[in-house]
Amino acid sequence: MPIPPFLKPRVLIAACAALALSACFGAPEAMKQGGGKRPTASTPARPQLTGTPSFTSPEARQCAFDLKQAGVRFTPLPNEDHGGGCSSIDSVKLLDIGTPVTNLGAMTCPLAKNFAAWAQFAVRPAARKYFGQEVVKIETYGTYSCRNIYGGRSGRLSQHAYSNAVDVAGFVLADGRRIMLDGGWKGDKTSQDFLRALHKSACRRFGTVLSPDYNAAHYNHFHLDMSGNGYCR
């Protein structure tokens, strides 16, 4: 139906206003994401609360109690569904385990408990045994990451996608030396002995332990997670 002449200016003004608003807010999300495709593990959706409070099960509450009893300072985190199959359930943020640690994000409570115990009862004593000094920092490549195994485009999700893994890169000694998996694993004898002792002790605490001997993707770190049943490589 033709637009009456007296309405044409108003229609033109409304059209201009609509164009201006679209320029301010940008393209719709479906267009930005290629027609509304499902997010992949490497590009997770914005985290959303699952609606379930964390640490409600007896096992989770016992784990939190064990952490407190061990003198570990931590903050419980809300349960989150990050999209793409990735999640953080009954996880914590470690604040103080007695030794500073870099890059720690969300960790499942069992992983946090075993990691803190490994640092206290394996890492620190081993540094004193092999180097005669204290470890003043543990360096990691982080914990939670919504991605597939080895960061591939396909395949099953990594334990990192569930906040259930940590990648340990190396250790800083009191004299400033950095004993890193990259170089130290096949380095001088003392560094090799130290790192292999830590690998052996980790295999008794974590469900899966992968070292530089496992494959090229692990040349520079220990992968420690709570899945599996004592898989140690």
Check residue 49 and give its pLDDT. 55
| Mean predicted lDDT score pLDDT of the chain | 83
Task: Give pLDDT tens digits for 122-141.
Answer: 999 999 999 999 999 999 99
Model confidence at 153, pLDDT cuts 50, 70, 90, reads confident
Question: pTM of the predicted model, to two decimals?
Answer: 0.78
Q: Is the pLDDT of residue 51 over 70?
A: no
Of 47-56, 199-208, 221-230, least confident by mean pLDDT is 47-56
Q: How confident is the model at residue 154 (pLDDT cuts 50, 70, 90)?
A: confident
Query: Residue 191: its pLDDT value, please?
Result: 98
Got the DSSP string for the chain? -PPPGGGHHHHHHHHHHHHHHHHHH-S-HHHHTTTTPPP-TTSPPPPEE-SS-SS-SHHHHHHHHHHHHTT-EEEE---EEEETTEEE-SEEEEEESSS-BSS---EEHHHHHHHHHHIIIIIHHHHHHHHSS-EEEEEEEES----BGGG-SSSSBPGGGGT-EEEEEEEEETTS-EEEHHHHTTS-HHHHHHHHHHHHHHHTTSSEEE-TTT-GGGTT-EEEES-SSSEE-
Residue 188 has pLDDT above 50, yes or no: yes
pLDDT at 27 over 60: no
